[in-house]
């Protein structure tokens, strides 16, 4: 188990028996309580032990192994790592990068969004990253993917609402009755990213 923290090793024992031959995820709750599961329903969970039967990335992330075309995409190593960590389809991450920055790591929007996935500084701070860190492609992709995973969790797996939240903010989706906000930019953004996602093999 490599460099597992002692509290993880202690807390893992009963779960390892109960979830034999399954991925195990863990995080430390705000009150200091370690949490373990084989069904990560919160974006704070991180992979602790991988089921040896699973393809790399497991779940939707395993599509990276059946879509070799993604391997030729820029920054695919970082995308694949983020997809595995946050249980995302790598094709979806690539689609967001294409729509947001066209793979330009130096891109900065008029609103101040930074880098490949156009992460806002406040979103970066939410996940412990300073604005200058968002200029590092690997860090930018990890933060953007973590936020996207949060949105998918928040909107119960609805990709279109998650993308609307990524573009307009999760509060905007909530204000409009859990629907795509009627903003011209967002109404164009969501189908564009979905189209890119499908063209890259996403489902």
Catalytic residue ranges? 100
CA separation for the pair 167, 151 (Å, rounded): 11
Nearest-5° Cα angle at 139, 134 to 144: 80
- 118/135 Cα distance (integer angstroms): 10
DSSP-assigned beta bridge partners for residue 119 = 114
Q: 27 CB contacts (<8 Å, ≥6 apart)? A: 34, 35, 42, 44, 45, 46
Distance CA 29, CA 202 (A): 32
């Amino acid at each position: 188990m490599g460099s597992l923290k002692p509290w993880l090793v202690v807390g893992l024992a009963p779960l390892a028996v109960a979830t034999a031959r399954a991925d195990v995820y863990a995080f430390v709750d705000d009150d200091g309580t370690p949490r373990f599961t084989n069904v990560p329903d919160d974006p704070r969970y991180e992979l602790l032990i991988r089921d040896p039967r699973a393809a790399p990335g497991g779940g939707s992330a395993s599509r990276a192994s059946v879509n070799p075309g993604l391997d030729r995409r820029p920054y695919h190593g970082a995308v694949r790592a983020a997809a595995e960590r946050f249980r995302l389809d790598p094709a979806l991450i690539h689609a967001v990068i294409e729509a947001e920055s066209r793979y330009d790591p130096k891109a900065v929007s008029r609103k101040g969004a930074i880098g490949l996935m156009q992460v806002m500084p406040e979103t970066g701070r939410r996940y412990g990253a300073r604005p200058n860190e968002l200029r590092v492609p690997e860090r930018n992709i990890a933060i953007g993917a973590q936020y996207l995973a949060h949105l998918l969790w928040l909107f119960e797996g609805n990709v279109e609402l998650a993308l609307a939240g990524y573009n307009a903010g999760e509060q905007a989706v909530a204000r409009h009755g859990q629907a795509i906000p009627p903003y011209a930019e967002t109404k164009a953004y969501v189908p564009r990213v979905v189209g890119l996602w499908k063209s890259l093999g996403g489902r």
